[in-house]
Amino acid sequence: MQNLLDYTKKELEEFIKPNFRAKQIYEWVYKKNAKSFDDMLNLPKTLREDLNEKFYIDPLKKIKSEKSSDGSIKYLFELKDGKTIETVWLPMKDEIYDEDGNLLRHSRYTVCVSSQVGCKIGCTFCLTAKGGFVRNLTPGEIVAQVHYAKKDNNIPYERRVNIVYMGMGEPLNNLENVKKAIEIFTDNDGLAIAPRRQTISTSGLSSQIKKLGEMDLGVLLAISLHAVNDELREKLMPINRAYNIASIMDAVRNFPIDMRKKVMFEYLMMDNLNDSIKDAKTLVKLLHGIKAKVNLIYFNPHEGSEYKRPSMENMENFQSYLRDHGITCTIRESKGLDISAACGQLKERAKISDR
């Protein structure tokens, strides 16, 4: 059987006739959250029976979830082949009401999705690397993570969420399937999540950044930089031997992006390693001429890691230096510190509990 969520609406139209049936199926799956083809009552019985024989619409099985006191939820999903992945639901902004109790702004949410089972990159600070690379996720397995998270948190269809391809895996190593997932997400008869709400985070595969730019999908780009010199970056991220910092900056400078937007640079701060003012000065030089926003992230310690969480003072001093030199810089609020928040933690803990 095949995963129906792997198909764009146009692809469904090629083998489901008449064409408008594909739109109906899309609406049942993504708008009405149908649990089975039997729920799709405006489809002919013969078509429902045929769909039941050929497709499934539930590629994910929740194995475990942990909810933080800040509202973040970490999901561990099992795929049809028994492999597992993680997805994170992140509340970003609360609802706002006026003095009369009228709603001024809805809550805002981000879903952090995985793009691979495991990862090839081998970052020394990341638990996902511990299990090595297993396989790419299909487009439907990526789409299902957002679809599940919205349903599980009772978010109405018309309320949009943001998506970051920042979970397990390197999305640019699965570019074709990620591209197709983006197309499925953006379909107005599907989840209707605009490209500008989707951010692809990469460890810096320069050649793939170029390919992504040529696709002109309209998505945002985030670079996991984490160091300002090649020596340290190679220690943290061995992929830097193939794609050094200079090649990444060249690729970013040529990446097409909406004039109203910026390229995000993710910078994981680790105590006494990359959190000095000297590092901040070098970063300013690296970003010269790039419309950039820097997101400083506290390292989230996990068992067995040699790296430590930086001090708040160093984080704030680093941020102030960048801001004083004209670079937009935020400190990402740490979420899920009371649960298995870092990539791979929930999966590893689940393994331990099963032993």
Radius of gyration of the chain (CA): 21
Q: Are strands 162-165 and 198-202 parallel, antiparallel or unpaired?
A: parallel
Residue 92 is predicted with a pLDDT of 82
Residue 190 annotated as binding?
no
Rounded to whole angstroms, the Cα distance separating 249 from 290 reads: 8
pLDDT tens per residue, range 312-349: 999 999 999 999 999 999 998 766 666 555 555 555 55
- As a whole number, mean pLDDT of residues 35-39 equals 95
The DSSP bridge pattern shows strands 133-136 and 116-118 to be: antiparallel
d(CA 226, CA 212): 22
191 is an annotated ligand-binding site residue: no
94 pLDDT above the threshold of 70? no
Q: Residue 179: which of 147, 235, 217 has the closest Cα?
A: 217
201 is in an annotated binding site: yes
**Is 118 marked within a binding site?**
no
Q: What is the per-residue pLDDT across 225-282, written as a single tens digit (0 to 9) for each?
A: 999 999 999 999 999 999 999 999 999 999 998 777 899 999 999 999 999 999 999 9
- State residue 100's pLDDT score: 62
What local confidence, expressed as pLDDT, does residue 258 receive? 79
Q: Give CA–CA dist 16/12, Å, rounded.
A: 6
Answer yes or no: are the C-beta atoms of 8 and 183 closer than 8 Å: yes
Active-site residue numbers? 86, 343
Give the Cβ contact number of residue 100 at 10 Å.
5
Share of the chain above pLDDT 90, in %: 80
C-alpha angle 201/82/16, rounded to 5°? 80
HEC letters along the chain: CEEHHHCCHHHHHHHCCCCHHHHHHHHHHHHCCCCCHHHCCCCCHHHHHHHHHHEECCCCEEEEEEECCCCCEEEEEECCCCCEEEEEEEEEECCEECCCCCEEECCEEEEECCCEEECCCCCCCCHHHHHCEEEECCHHHHHHHHHHHHHHCCCCCCCCCEEEECCCCCHHHHHHHHHHHHHHHHCCCCCCCCHHHEEEEECCCHHHHHHHHHHCCCCEEEEECCCCCHHHHHHHCHHHHCCCHHHHHHHHHCCCCCCCCCEEEEEEECCCCCCCHHHHHHHHHHCCCCCEEEEEEECCCCCCCCCCCCCHHHHHHHHHHHHHCCCEEEECCCCCCCCCCCCCHHHHHHHHHHC
Where does the pLDDT of residue 52 fall: very low under 50, low under 70, confident under 90, or very high at 90 and above? very high
φ/ψ (deg, to 5) at 174: -135, 45
- 167 marked among binding-site residues: no
Binding site annotation covers 334? no
Measured between its terminal Cα atoms, the distance across the chain in Å is 32
The domain defined by 61-354 carries CATH number 3.30.300.10? no
Give phi and psi for 82, each to the nearest 5.
Answer: 90, -10
User: According to the annotation, is 305 in a ligand binding site?
Assistant: no
CATH number for the domain whose boundaries are 2-56: 1.10.150.530
Name the residue type at position 56.
Answer: Y
- Encoded tokens for 189: 């008869």
Every domain of the chain and the residues it spans? 2-56, 61-354
pLDDT at residue 344, as a whole number: 52
* Residue 322 in marked binding region: no
CB 284, CB 225: distance < 8 Å: no
pLDDT per residue as tens digits for the range 61-85: 999 999 998 899 999 999 999 999 9
126 is in an annotated binding site: yes
Residue 159: which of 218, 109, 95, 111 has the closest Cα?
109
Q: Is 170 among the annotated ligand-binding positions? A: yes
CB-CB contact of 161 with 111 (8 Å) = yes
- The pLDDT of residue 355 is 40
pLDDT at 353 (0 to 100): 44
Residues 97-153: pLDDT tens digits?
666 666 555 678 999 999 999 999 999 888 776 778 999 999 999 999 999 999 999
Tell me if the pTM is above 0.75: yes
Over residues 219-224, mean pLDDT: 97
